Amino acid sequence: MKLEKIYLKPNSEFSKYMAEWAVKMGVEVIDHEFKIGDQIADGLLLINENQDIDRETDIVNTFFDDKHLPSQKIDVNGTLQVAVSNFEMWFRNFKCKNVIVLGSDELVKNDNLDRFFNKLLDKVKA
């Protein structure tokens, strides 16, 4: 199982961070402005702090829920091992290869974001 593509919102600090991580992983990055009705990905990964999700992200999450498409929320301020295990289980069970990844620009200032994605390096490559 391998992550192949991630779709990121263009021109955001969070997307720049994710693109750098994806390069390390050998994952293709595609800038994409999500519009209701888009079904370009087979999964949605929402990264947040303290379960705080903005309105725009919530709309995308609701779309995925309504279509019964897999989505996963990761709170980087939660327990690291739980977040990694939950992501790994979601990734393995749903076999998502093309994922939209959303998060706020403020997340790049949170040290826990690095901790989470560094832990994932081996999990997603296998």
Name residue 90's amino acid. Answer: W
Q: Using DSSP, how many helices (H) and how many strands (E) does the chain show?
A: 4, 5
**pLDDT tens-digit series, residues 52-75:** 888 888 888 999 999 999 999 999
pTM of model > 0.85: yes
At residue 31 the predicted structure's pLDDT band, cuts being 50, 70 and 90, is very high
**Beta strand segments in the chain, E:** 5-8, 28-31, 43-48, 71-75, 98-102
Give 2's contacts (C-beta < 8 A, 6+ positions apart).
97, 124, 125, 126
Q: Across the beta sheet with 98-102, what order do the strands follow? A: 28-31, 5-8, 98-102, 43-48, 71-75
Which domains, ranges and CATH numbers included, belong to the chain?
Answer: 5-125 (3.40.50.450)
